Structure 1
Amino acid sequence: MSFSNGLELCFPNLLNSSCERAARSQSVAILTDITLSGIGLLTLVLNLLVIISISHFRQLHTPTNILLLSLAISDFFVGFLFFFQIMIIGGCWLLSDLVCSLYCLLEYVITSSSIGIMVLISVDRYVAICDPLHYSVRVTEKRVKVCVCLCWGCAVVYDSLLLKDNLIHPGRYKSCHGECVLVYDSTSGVVDMIMSFICPITIIVVLYVRVFIVAASQARAMHLFTAAVHVQCSLNVKAKKSGLKAAKTLGIVVVVFLICLFPYFCIVLTGQDSVLNITSAAFFNCLFYFNSCLNPIIYAYFYPWFRKSIKLIFTLQILKPGSCNLNIG
């Protein structure tokens, strides 16, 4: 149902309690829906390729790649969130209040776990570059798997406690039908900002500044060393160069992540009250979600193993017996 002023209701049969649909031209609405659907589908496919690659090929079962696998799983779920954003940008939440609460919880868990994984990646590169002699002892597959599980578990518990009122009383704070509202008190908001943004981002920045300082000094040292002794220790130099390249690549992943995440947290930090209407933050949500589509593209550009694994997947060679033992390095 529409009115003379051009406004439309989300639920025309609920005249007095329905929310108003966002005012958008049909062409803009179609373009937005197609764009978000395309990005969401691309995010799902690209991250699924990362998940299959690292899970299938034994050569890729390294501590660093286990962290990338966990990040890809998180990014894979983000692909589904794009389809919810289509409704939110349209101004009407057409699903139940319980689904709204679960959507908010999933979004927060994905954000918290992604930030936690980024911290673990920073720690991994810090140990690999700053203490390479003890890296294989301190950073093992088993320890990394335990840390990843703890990261996801803590994210679920923490965000469930943060959003417990929304989960216990779905839709309690909405002003009209067709609205999805996230509510938390000011104290929880401050704690969440410190725990989910300020502390982890500080850790990431400090560790990576240290990593690149050490990496720069190592690069200069290797240049001088290879000029003096080129043949005898070429394998050692190659290993160090590989570690520096991995640090650079993962550094790009971290920087892109921070760029995409920062605007959303700025909006939360400068909010005027404790009620965040998800519709008003839809654009910044999509910007953060878009980071999940960029990560596999970064891998494809910098990691030859990912490009080779994609070729093996699309040519169905991974279905052959023993394909998991192929050399794709």
Structure 2
Amino acid sequence: METLEEVELCFPQLLNTSCQKPKRSHFEIIMSYIILSSITVLTTTLNLLVIISISHFKQLHTPTNLLLLSLAVSDFFVGLLMFFQIMLIDGCWYLGDIVCVLYLYLGYIITSTSVGNMVLICADRYVAICHPLHYSTKVTQKRVQVCVSLCWICSIIFQILVLKDNLEQPGSAISCTGECVAVSNNIAELADLILSFIGPVIVIIVLYMRVFVVAVSQARAMRSHIVAVTLQGSVKVNVKKSEIKAARTLGVVVVVFLICLCPYYVVVLTAPDTLLIASSAAFVICMFYFNSCLNPIIYAFFYPWFRKCLKLIVTLKIMQPGSCEANIL
């Protein structure tokens, strides 16, 4: 049986109420700090570059880029929240019950908004590829601004309802001092599961599958047209590469989204109770957050204009007068 000397407490001065620190090797703790710190720096830096690029250069003020901007803002704040996750590496929360609830609440809001932004981006690409003639009339700057605003507002309101009990009574769910947990009822958990995971996944898969089918159809139609006027062998190679590239890009988007979000919701579904313990669920939460690090890579680094913006930002040329009018596209 362990003695008090063998057990590490979060608050040694509170012998009867303090939580125990989980036993972890020194190597495991150091590696956790390095990995989480790297993810945090990458997430905040990459998304900040996207925010500066789209906000500064007027040529990038388009409906699609406005969605990318909203996504980058939500993902940037996810990176900032990762600093609190780093504090939980030793399994203890030292900032009190109120800050704990605010941390969890902001985390829920920002991550759900990030997922919502991804759905909006999918819808934007769907209209652009499947209904190109109606894109300019259906997807306007004003409509996109309204959709983005509703995405943030709905996330805030929905998470207030999910974490209502925790916001009213901070710390009511903790079993010992040094714990940071959130509790919700079964209805709230089911609603969060459907609206934050199952629903978005279905929408993304359906839209992207439709986009993929249309893209392949267009590629084949183009091949048939070109075959009539050029050599058939060279055209086959080009079209095949185009189809593979389209499949790879769409596949990466869907697979990365599922890989990062599935572990979190699998843990939620299989958990024996309704508590989400931030310290013990650190891995799945970090996977959930890691998607925000990959978003700017998937959605922005694939665009040539981002590389041009990055060069102008790094060389500080954006500080020059009139740089916002630079030709980026």
* Residues 55 and 294 of structure 1: CA distance in aligned 2, closer, same or farther (over 3 Å): same
Following TM superposition, by how much is the alpha carbon of 1:226 offset from its aligned partner in structure 2, in angstroms? 4.1
In structure 1, the partner of 2:44 is: 44
Indicate conservation of the 8 Å contact 2:78/2:111, yes or no: no
The answer to which of 196-205 and 137-146 deviates more is 196-205
Alignment of 1:1-329 (within 5 A): 3=3, 6-228=6-228, 249=249, 252-299=252-299, 301-329=301-329
Q: 2:297 and 2:33 mapped to 1: Cα distance?
A: 22
* Residues 150 and 246 of structure 1: CA distance in aligned 2, closer, same or farther (over 3 Å): farther
Indicate conservation of the 8 Å contact 1:101/1:167, yes or no: yes
The answer to which of 153-162 and 192-201 deviates more is 192-201
* Structure 1 residues not aligned, in runs of 5+: 231-241
Indicate conservation of the 8 Å contact 2:93/2:178, yes or no: yes
Q: 2:125 and 2:250 mapped to 1: Cα distance?
A: 8
Q: 2:69 and 2:321 mapped to 1: Cα distance?
A: 23
Q: 1:3 and 1:299 mapped to 2: Cα distance?
A: 53
Amino acid at match of 2:104: C
CA RMSD of aligned residues (A): 2.3
Indicate conservation of the 8 Å contact 2:10/2:19, yes or no: yes
Following TM superposition, by how much is the alpha carbon of 1:260 offset from its aligned partner in structure 2, in angstroms? 0.6
Following TM superposition, by how much is the alpha carbon of 1:255 offset from its aligned partner in structure 2, in angstroms? 3.5
Indicate conservation of the 8 Å contact 2:11/2:18, yes or no: yes
The answer to which of 171-180 and 268-277 deviates more is 268-277
| Number of positions where the alignment pairs a residue of Structure 1 with one of Structure 2 | 317
Amino acid at match of 2:26: Q
CA deviation string 1:31-64 (max 9, x = no partner): 2113211220121111100000111111111111
Amino acid at match of 2:156: V
Amino acid at match of 2:284: F
Following TM superposition, by how much is the alpha carbon of 1:317 offset from its aligned partner in structure 2, in angstroms? 0.5
Following TM superposition, by how much is the alpha carbon of 1:247 offset from its aligned partner in structure 2, in angstroms? 9.7
Q: 2:50 and 2:252 mapped to 1: Cα distance?
A: 17
Q: 1:203 and 1:300 mapped to 2: Cα distance?
A: 21
Indicate conservation of the 8 Å contact 1:118/1:254, yes or no: no
Amino acid at match of 2:105: L
In structure 1, the partner of 2:239 is: none
The answer to which of 157-166 and 265-274 deviates more is 265-274
CA deviation string 1:218-250 (max 9, x = no partner): 1111223345579xxxxxxxxxxx9x9899757
Give me the identity figure in percent: 63
* Residues 109 and 210 of structure 1: CA distance in aligned 2, closer, same or farther (over 3 Å): same
Indicate conservation of the 8 Å contact 1:299/1:306, yes or no: no
Q: 1:227 and 1:269 mapped to 2: Cα distance?
A: 53
Amino acid at match of 2:194: I
Following TM superposition, by how much is the alpha carbon of 1:298 offset from its aligned partner in structure 2, in angstroms? 3.0
Partner of 1:32, secondary structure, is helix
Partner of 1:7, secondary structure, is coil
Amino acid at match of 2:153: G
Amino acid at match of 2:48: L
Following TM superposition, by how much is the alpha carbon of 1:7 offset from its aligned partner in structure 2, in angstroms? 2.2
Q: 1:162 and 1:270 mapped to 2: Cα distance?
A: 19
Q: 2:167 and 2:115 mapped to 1: Cα distance?
A: 23
* Structure 2 residues not aligned, in runs of 5+: 231-241
In structure 2, the partner of 1:233 is: none
Following TM superposition, by how much is the alpha carbon of 1:180 offset from its aligned partner in structure 2, in angstroms? 0.5
Following TM superposition, by how much is the alpha carbon of 1:106 offset from its aligned partner in structure 2, in angstroms? 0.9
Q: 1:247 and 1:149 mapped to 2: Cα distance?
A: 31
Following TM superposition, by how much is the alpha carbon of 1:289 offset from its aligned partner in structure 2, in angstroms? 1.2
Amino acid at match of 1:183: V
Amino acid at match of 1:314: V
Amino acid at match of 1:319: M
CA deviation string 1:6-51 (max 9, x = no partner): 3200001101100011212223212211321122012111110000
Following TM superposition, by how much is the alpha carbon of 1:3 offset from its aligned partner in structure 2, in angstroms? 5.0
Partner of 2:281, secondary structure, is helix
Partner of 1:291, secondary structure, is helix
* Residues 246 and 56 of structure 1: CA distance in aligned 2, closer, same or farther (over 3 Å): farther
Amino acid at match of 2:7: L
* Residues 55 and 107 of structure 1: CA distance in aligned 2, closer, same or farther (over 3 Å): same
